[in-house]
Structure 1
Amino acid sequence: MAINAYTQKETSKGNESENRSNGIDAFFSPDSFSKLSSIMNNKTVMSGSYLFWEGEAADHLYYVKKGRVKLTKTTDSGNKMTLYLHHAGDLFGQMDPFQTNTQTFNAEVIEDAEFGIIEQKDLELLLWQHRDLAIAFMKWMGVMHRMTQSKFRDLMLYGKTGALCSLLIRLCNSYGVQQGNMIRIDKKMNNSEMAEMIGATRESVNRLLNDMRKEDVISIEHGTIFVKDVAYLRQICKCENCPLEVCRV
């Protein structure tokens, strides 16, 4: 859910250590990350390709070295929902060590990307050998589950308006840059993309954004959203002050 610490530095396009400061650095120390890096296999994937599909074996983790990927879920009616957007510095995957699992999302690469891929058998051996890494990994898994729960909470409890307000705050946390009294969301998203993330129609998102503009909560210039009143957004989505690691897209 949304939190009061909603601004970040601009997304890093520099070296890997800078990327980690916006991703898994909150969970893994440099030493633990070095252990993970030692078992990663590099893979380059072009935009428009898929890393995996729903229903496939979930036996890998993916560390994003550069690029972006979105995780989507297809509903029974055939509609697609975007649940996560991952960028450089993120670690993702539904692999549960020491048991068999299947993917419940599709992973679509939306910007040419490079990944460090961790195989389940290699990770299990590493966790057996290093207790500190195992503890860090458990913390990371816990936050990932909490993030999923908070997103489903947004979608189910406070309607499309609450879900959109929460999405805007998550975008501020992930891509926001302070600009005077406003927060500029540096990642441009069209109304169809936003609708896909909250389970709404493009027309509904367009109407809700127009209502927020009339209330002077946001402004939109050349496709860039500026958030003027975060307190309003937090009130509508019943903010629970979740940590930054949870309140993100």
Structure 2
Amino acid sequence: MESSLLCTMSEPQFERLMINRPQLALKFLKALSDQLKEREDQLEQCALHGLRKRVLHLLSTLSAKFGVIQDGYALIDLPLSHQEIANMIGASREAVSSVMSELAKEGVVKTSRLSVQLAVTILEENIPRNSTH
């Protein structure tokens, strides 16, 4: 967590800002587009894949964004509980805990209190690809 300053503006003010600052407008559109792509990927995972695959996809995505490679594992530099993982993929904490235990036994993940590490080999297999539809 860090200190933040939030400001509000009316819709007409926002529109003027976007018109007067086209580079800012492009960055804003890119950020929105990236978020939509992430949501589309999440929905696809939920609709088409089992829990294990969804967990691996989420951990791969988080590793790609926030991971720090150490000793063959990508340490996800975020505090993550099983409940938070479950919330992100639409599953129960108990089911996620079971899958995480299996993955830990297989050496695919290492977990400690609120931290997760994913084997780099798994990360490379599951890394979300930037694709256009």
Q: Same fold (TM over 0.5)?
A: yes
Q: Secondary structure at the match of 2:14?
A: helix
1:81-117, CA deviations, whole angstroms, 9 ceiling, x for partnerless residues?
Answer: xxxxxxx6xxxxxxxxxxxxxxxxxxxxxxxx52433
Q: Confirm whether residue 171 of structure 1 aligns to residue 59 of structure 2.
A: no
Q: Confirm whether residue 135 of structure 1 aligns to residue 17 of structure 2.
A: no
TM value normalised by structure 2: 0.79
* TM alignment of 1:1-249, pairs within 5 A: 67=1, 114-119=4-9, 120-228=11-119, 230-232=120-122, 235=125, 239-242=127-130
Q: Partners in 1 of 2:36 and 2:49 — Cα distance?
A: 20
TM value normalised by structure 1: 0.46
Q: Secondary structure at the match of 1:116?
A: coil
Following superposition, the deviation at residue 223 of structure 1 comes to: 4.2
What 5-or-longer segments of structure 1 have no aligned partner?
A: 1-66, 68-87, 89-112, 244-249
Q: Partners in 2 of 1:192 and 1:128 — Cα distance?
A: 42
Q: Secondary structure at the match of 1:183?
A: strand
- Checking the alignment, whether the CA contact within 8 Å between 2:61 and 2:128 is kept in structure 1 is no
Which structure has more strand as a fraction of its residues? 1
Which structure has more helix as a fraction of its residues? 2
What 5-or-longer segments of structure 2 have no aligned partner?
A: none
Aligned pairs, number:
130
- Checking the alignment, whether the CA contact within 8 Å between 1:182 and 1:227 is kept in structure 2 is yes
- Checking the alignment, whether the CA contact within 8 Å between 1:165 and 1:234 is kept in structure 2 is no
Q: Partners in 2 of 1:181 and 1:122 — Cα distance?
A: 49
**Relative contact order, higher structure (CA 8 A, sep 6+):** 1
Amino acid in the other structure paired with 1:129: N
- Checking the alignment, whether the CA contact within 8 Å between 2:109 and 2:118 is kept in structure 1 is yes
Question: CA separation of 1:234/1:161 partners in 2, compared to 1, >3 Å: closer, same or farther?
Answer: farther
- Checking the alignment, whether the CA contact within 8 Å between 1:166 and 1:234 is kept in structure 2 is no
Question: CA separation of 1:117/1:157 partners in 2, compared to 1, >3 Å: closer, same or farther?
Answer: farther
Question: CA separation of 1:156/1:117 partners in 2, compared to 1, >3 Å: closer, same or farther?
Answer: farther
Question: CA separation of 1:154/1:117 partners in 2, compared to 1, >3 Å: closer, same or farther?
Answer: farther
Following superposition, the deviation at residue 215 of structure 1 comes to: 1.4
Aligned-pair RMSD on alpha carbons?
2.4
- Checking the alignment, whether the CA contact within 8 Å between 2:76 and 2:115 is kept in structure 1 is yes
- Checking the alignment, whether the CA contact within 8 Å between 2:63 and 2:75 is kept in structure 1 is yes
1:14-68, CA deviations, whole angstroms, 9 ceiling, x for partnerless residues?
Answer: xxxxxxxxxxxxxxxxxxxxxxxxxxxxxxxxxxxxxxxxxxxxxxxxxxxxx3x
Amino acid in the other structure paired with 2:14: L
Q: Secondary structure at the match of 2:61?
A: helix
Q: Which 4+ stretches in 1 moved above 6 angstroms?
A: none
Q: Identity percentage over the alignment?
A: 23
